[in-house]
A and B are shown apart, each in its own frame.
Chain A
Amino acid sequence: NAGVTQTPKFRILKIGQSMTLQCAQDMNHNYMYWYRQDPGMGLKLIYYSVGAGITDKGEVPNGYNVSRSTTEDFPLRLELAAPSQTSVYFCASRTGQQNYGYTFGSGTRLTVV
């Protein structure tokens, strides 16, 4: 069981470039999430999905887009990268049962220069 797989692990982007952060889970979880973590700032929710075809904005969605065409995959798209998007990005998933926490991927460290 791979759990939650994120690619790439590291990436350097130039200002204005675009990229997609990949996230896949093999646990048949309906709920999937994207968070970003800045030093000393905790985890901030970017977007989430409660099932295939359903997505919703979190606390900090500006500059990002998502899609959820399958249960397994939840890619995060960065358009026109800016230095403020330099962060560590975590994808997570969970079952539909409320009292189960998230399983996190290993993260993507993104630097925008």
Chain B
Amino acid sequence: QKEVEQNSGPLSVPEGAIASLNCTYSDRGSQSFFWYRQYSGKSPELIMFIYSNGDKEDGRFTAQLNKASQYVSLLIRDSQPSDSATYLCAVNIDSGYSTLTFGKGTMLLVSP
């Protein structure tokens, strides 16, 4: 079973701090990696994708990919209470790259 693993949390950080969310995956052939944010009762919303080793920055968000160690992480700088949500890691695992396999998500709580 090809898997995507995330710590369920909750991860609690104070406002203004850096939140670090981690994800590991089992299939070395995975090519594309996505981070989704899901507010309670809402649908997932794409916030970042990455497919090359290293860092990718977009505003307060940085995605980091290390294919050798099979992990991908999401850093949120200057965390805000509005960042409080569940963050889902998703990976293209199947050989045709048609589908995403999702982790169970990490709940982030940012306190004022």
Contacts and interface: CB of A to CB of B under 8 A. Distances in A.
Contacts of A48: 98-99
Interface residues of A, number: 22
Contacts of B45: 104
Contacts, number: 49
B104 A99 contact: no
B104 A90 contact: no
B17 interface: no
Interface residues of B, number: 24
A53 interface: no
Contact of B100 (A41, A102, A103): A102
Interface of A: 31, 33, 35, 40-43, 45, 48, 50, 58, 90, 98-107
Closest 5 A-B residue pairs measured CB to CB?
A42-B104, A104-B43, A101-B46, A43-B102, A101-B34
